[in-house]
Amino acid sequence: MNTAKTNNMTQKKLLIKRTLWLDGPNIWTYRSCIEALVDIQDLEQFPSNLLPGFYERLTALLPGLVDHECGIGEPGGFLIRLRDGTYAAHILEHITIELHLLAGLNAGFGKARETSVSGVYKMVFRTPDRFVGMACLEAAVRLIHACIEDTPYDLKAELKVIQRVCDMKGLGPSTQHIVDAAYDRRIPFIRLNDGNLVQIGYGEKQQRIWTAETSKTSAIAEGIASDKQLCKDLLSQIGIPVPEGREVDSADEAWEAAQDIGVPVVVKPTDANHGRGVSLELSKEQDIREAYALADEVGSGVLVEKFIAGHEHRLLIINNQMVAATRGELVFVTGDGKSTLLELVESQLNSDPQRGWEEYCPLDPVDFGYDPTALYEVRRQGFEPESVVPAGHKVLVQRNSNASEDVTDIVHPEIARLCTLAAKVIGLDIAGVDLMCEHIDQPPQGQAFAIVEVNAGPGLLMHIKPSKGTPRNVGAPIIESLFPQGETGRIPIITYTGGPELSDFGPQLCAMLEDKGHNVGLACEHGLWVNGKAVHHHDAANWESGRNALVNNKLNTLIMQVRQSTILSEGLPFDRNTVAVVTHLGQLDGLQEWDIVNHEKLFNVTRTVIDLVLPTGYAVLNADEVSLLPLQELCDGKVVWISTNPDNPVVREHVGNGGIAVVLHEHAVQFLGNRAEQEERKPIPLDHADENPIKQLALAACGWVCDVPHHLLRAELRKQP
């Protein structure tokens, strides 16, 4: 082999020249994505089949690439392309997607397309969050360079970094699960902060979630649930079995309460969370005193309760229905006569990939430093973390907060009824009901049984990703409780795109719909208005202004001017629109920085708003512009053609096929089609028919499909210049 040539090839690198976060529908996809401008430089001359050892090194690092179908349409398709020879930008796309998948993220969409500049590509990939996406992209660049140069690459370390970014910046798994359920129903959503506060739906149709709390979660109910003694009192008053107990203020009172109740007892904080500070099955005075100190350290008060024998269970109640249940188990390690207790915990428990501090792990690690009750438990058995455990001897290391075996299908109906009643009494729309019983599949009568706690904002991961048993789609009933079947969470969204002929179109349409009684948000080049009040008079034809309007819970309609530059640089702030008005393809001037250099590429940008029209919506298109005619085939809804020529052949054919149109005829707006005849829509004479007739026709068409009464539409059009 030519050494000089090999050394030269090992210097080949690609360069990310620019990245764009497209937070909404764009020219690539309906969902948020990152577009990277990638210069593969000298690698343009070296596709993958000309890089010695590259295929072997890459597939060894990422064996999951075998599942990538690529353009071939079947698993292994990408590897065929890789073996036969494909370019670095395309390879980068698939590596970035695979890193998403390895980090436990939904992914799968990506494209790489060469620009008008040789060796420079646009590479795009879908990602749930821009920070997470950038972490995957940067790691992918390092990985591809390592495979080209045959240098070490620590994939595990890179994935830890990506997962850390996910934990810090991405939605938590419970919130993401609910958002995914909304997406399955095609209900739109907006992330409102860097945490887990998410708006589901637009404008006045919105609801909000914060992990497993919703707009319908009562603050009073949350307060009751956090007061464990008050919660138990309310449940016992209606006959729900709860453990006998009382709140205490000192270790002496704790021992007195235990004697009165009868040992064994449980000692826990009044506001216990995730089992911290909870000590179970205590009988000795010294143990109870020490448990009081542990509970008092982590809570605002301490409860002593009768210990109920059996297994810990968590039932998830949503909208007065039991939708999932899990069972906990006691956690032991078994000695080998050589290893310390701490070593046994690490090898037998914490090595389980289901255990981890990351949010996506259903089980927490056993950590004596973090959980003093676990340390206290092993000390009660005569062991320290450094103790060597005799061979065959079992040590109990954890009793609580380990309910992660799914038992939904075997819950006895009477137990489900009691737990549902408990959530209803407390007043929670979503509740995690903790109970102790011996047999979850048998009636509560005749066995040890008690409801221990009712929790607001319960964790969902144990149901979504149980350590054993069937995962449960608990997000679907949460969305169902917020949006019963038939509700979409949508408000009418009207977009308009064109040239100077649409000057003042937005304000005039806004006035028309406000007169009809709509609460309208308007985002256009003249500013941002909400319910008739100007928020500002700066250019608002952009993503931020549109998103700000959709967050307003008083609006029931949004009108937004859409520019091609917004689609290219930001994406659109909504997922679908109700009416899309397009009167002109637009201008190439100013779009060169996005490599929009001809009318074919410009068409692909402008079509975006038509691609987003709902099946129940309308596209209002200018039949006098030949370049717009292909848009008709791209609309999921109905098309309304407008024309200044009543004999326009496109209009005639469309109306003949049962469509509707609005044309200018003898200085009047005329409505055509079966719908116009059924509604007896009469022509509307225009006092200024020669002044910008396209705008007048577009206003008439929008008013018509938005069900503006004909007399009001007539009055609005006749007063417009």
The predicted-structure confidence for 458-468, as pLDDT tens digits, reads as follows 989 999 989 88
Strand partners, 712: none
pLDDT at 311 over 60: yes
Q: Which range, of 318-322, 328-332, 591-595, averages the lowest pLDDT?
A: 328-332
pLDDT at 70 over 90: no
- In sequence order, which residues have a C-beta less than 8 Å from that of residue 67 and are 6 or more positions away? 75, 76
d(CA 501, CA 598): 22
pLDDT at residue 718 in the model: 78
96 pLDDT band, cuts 50/70/90, is: very high
Residues 32 and 128 sit within 8 Å (Cβ to Cβ):
yes
Helix (H, G, I), strand (E, B) or coil at 149: helix
Supply angle C-alpha 445, 447, 453, rounded to 5.
Answer: 85
Strand residue runs (E) in 298-429 = 302-306, 311-318, 321-327, 331-334, 394-398, 405-406
pLDDT at 330 over 80: no
pLDDT at 7 over 60: no
DSSP assignment of 391-419, as one string?
Answer: TT-EEEEE-SS---EE-GGG--HHHHHHH
d(CA 450, CA 185): 37
Helix (H, G, I), strand (E, B) or coil at 253: helix
- The pLDDT of 108-127, averaged and rounded, is 94
d(CA 172, CA 106): 13
Burial of residue 391 (CB within 10 Å: 0-12, 13-18, 19+) is exposed
pLDDT at 695 over 90: yes
Supply angle C-alpha 97, 103, 106, rounded to 5.
Answer: 55
pLDDT at 720 over 90: no
pLDDT at residue 687 in the model: 78
pLDDT at 368 over 60: yes
pLDDT at residue 108 in the model: 79
pLDDT at 2 over 60: no
Residues 597 and 570 sit within 8 Å (Cβ to Cβ):
no
CA distances from 670 to 362, 579, 687, 691, 707 (A): 64, 20, 14, 17, 16
- Write out the two tokens for 259: 């004697």
- The pLDDT of 230-252, averaged and rounded, is 94
Tens digits of residue pLDDT in 527-576:
999 988 999 999 999 999 999 999 999 999 999 999 999 999 999 999 99
Summary mean pLDDT of the chain: 91
pTM: 0.86
Torsions phi, psi of 495, nearest 5? -115, 150
pLDDT at residue 309 in the model: 86
358 pLDDT band, cuts 50/70/90, is: low
Q: Distance from CA of residue 2 to its chain's centroid?
A: 52
pLDDT at residue 1 in the model: 39
Strand residue runs (E) in 265-353 = 265-269, 279-282, 302-306, 311-318, 321-327, 331-334
Domain spans of the chain?
A: 3-170, 174-216, 331-398, 493-719
Q: Does the N-terminal peptide bond of residue 264 adopt cis geometry, omega within 30 degrees of 0?
A: yes
Specify the CATH superfamily of domain 493-719.
Answer: Mur-like, catalytic domain (3.40.1190.10)
pLDDT at 373 over 80: no
pLDDT at residue 8 in the model: 46
d(CA 270, CA 259): 20
Tens digits of residue pLDDT in 478-536:
999 999 999 999 999 999 999 999 989 999 999 999 999 999 999 999 999 998 899 99
What radius of gyration do the chain's Cα atoms show? 32
CA distances from 556 to 271, 482, 526 (A): 41, 18, 21
375 pLDDT band, cuts 50/70/90, is: confident
CA distances from 319 to 47, 108, 424, 430 (A): 57, 34, 9, 7
424 pLDDT band, cuts 50/70/90, is: very high
